Amino acid sequence: MRAISSAELAKFQQFIFDSAGITLSASKKELVMGRLGKRLGAHGMDNFSDYFRLLASGEDPAEVQIAVDLLTTNETYFFRESKHFDFLREKLVEARGRSQSYRVWSAASSSGEEAYSIAMVLSDTLAATPWEVLGSDISTKVLTGASRALYPMERARQIPAPYLRRFCLKGQGDYEGKLLIARELRNRVSFRQVNLNEALPHVGQFDFVFLRNVMIYFNDETKRQVVGRLISTLKPGAYFCVGHSESLNGISQELEQVAPSVYRKPV
């Protein structure tokens, strides 16, 4: 397999931008080679130009999805940036006792750890108040894993001990070294493929939307478009959470900041 050239890299940079709104810098050259190299082998190709022509032809939509999956960064873990979950818990206390379901969207849920972390907090805090969680991602591969809710035990390091005992099942036999999210949570967390860079499907209105550690891969115009779409799904008074290294400054003036990297839609 020949190394990817700058011209070939530019084509894949445009491909993933058009597909997912993600901006890949030139420094990601080794990442692109590493992730797509096996696909060249699968098709008996020895250069990236031939593989790009396959994607561009539109003759194999499944291969296009595989390429998108491979080029989408999917790093996550349970209770990442834990202060956001503390904030969520505070707001849930105020929502106890209401009859309307409390809805949260993990809009870039990757392999599901964020969505299940949210579900643990909801279940623990809301008691009898109804709730539901939607997890979405552009990658069908990670969503399949998220629906299984089966994770390596080492991923459990950040899960609070009471939640680990209550919401996680320790694997045995063939599942030694793994944990399974309890059915009571799995039944109330749904996953679906959503491309945030396109018009959103009908997902309803939410009390809280998480869009964390995703905008760092978008340019400013894409950020404005994605955030605008997601704001339209917020109920009045609902909250919008971005990663600690992210901000809506210069991106949107529709929300007011209420805490570090947490915003609120005016009532």
Cite the active site residues.
Answer: 35, 137
Beta bridge partners of 206: 234
Nearest to 56 by CA among 112, 16, 2: 16
Under a CB-based contact definition with an 8 Å cutoff, are residues 179 and 168 in contact?
A: yes
CA distance 85 to 82: 5
DSSP string, 77-107: -TTSSTHHHHHHHHHHHHHTT-SSPEEEEET
- Do 85 and 73 contact (CB within 8 A), yes or no? no
CA-to-CA distance for 257 and 248, rounded, in angstroms?
A: 9
The neighbour count for residue 91, using CB atoms within 10 Å, is 18
The pair of three-digit structure tokens given for residue 60, joined into one six-digit string? 């194999």
DSSP letter for each residue of 128-196:
TS-EEEEEEES-HHHHHHHHHTEEEGGGGGGS-HHHHHHHEEE--GGGTTEEEE-HHHHTTEEEEE--T
Residue 56: Cβ within 10 Å count: 11
CA distance 108 to 35: 20
